[in-house]
Structure 1
Amino acid sequence: MKSAAPILTIKPEALPEGLRELARVLGDTDALRLIGLHGGARVSVPKKAREDHPLRMALGAVAFERLVDEYGGETIDLPKGDAYLRELRHSQVRQCREQGLTVDETAEATGYSRRHVINILGGDANGADTFTIDMFAEPDSDPVNHAGQANDPFGLGSRRA
């Protein structure tokens, strides 16, 4: 079953300053598309919008017109935005969990691997973290005897010296 990933709400205050300015001019989706394609690069914006310009093909006519109106004739340094985009996708994984999607459904919906979804959730795949020992928990008063088990295959742990 292919589950749809939740629609994300972009928090403008969480955006880096350069990306916030692009989002103001282009809108959230087109700003993220532009930095996804050219983030970290220097881009020359033409003075006039041509139909065959690569930025127009990448952004679409309306967003490209807005970019030319605001920055026409300028060269702009696009922010990288990797950290923000990563946090946005991680937020999407957490939202999937809140909606009750399984780890496999979340992986399919977000394009991450099952293992990476578990890592993002902090090892919390089934509602309880089974990978981490609580270092502040009180020790068990009745220790478990592991004699004859995988970590003591010869049963030497049960012998008293």
Structure 2
Amino acid sequence: MRDRQVARNARRAREFEAFVAGAAGRLLHAATLLTAEAPGGNPRARRLLTQALAHTYARWDRLRGEDPYECARQHLAGRFARTTWHRYGAFGRARPDPRSPLADLGPQERLILVLRLYEGVAEQQTAALLGLPTERVHTICDRATATLLHPVRPAAPRAMGTKVAPS
């Protein structure tokens, strides 16, 4: 009996290690995009990843045909949303690293954009995960994409003594 349990635990550990070897890099990149940290200095993203992997490992035997990557991604996204809500107010703005490609977006926009475009999660699934209407997810994703594709540039300083022509 004891030998069977030891063998089962060893198999579980090997399976989970194989999962982590294949999925951790992508999940860490997604977490880094969410937190808008620099890729080399991303303690919040690493903490999110660690929590998501710990949650997935705790559920490993109960997944029963569920995709462990989906489980980890859902936990990561949900944890990011809850942490951002509690720490910074209703999807308030943390100070993103200016080197992050998503630094100009708010947390909710980053979350939806990462789920939709980087992770390829369907609009309906994203809406269900976040508790938002599908139309709202669509609008936020469109707005975030437009912000990334057409960033607002600061106005060029005018030279001293030049006059602006009346409109």
With the length of structure 2 as denominator, give the TM-score of the two structures.
Answer: 0.28
Larger radius of gyration: 1
Relative contact order higher in (CA < 8 Å, ≥ 6 apart):
1
The structure with the largest helix share of the pair is 2
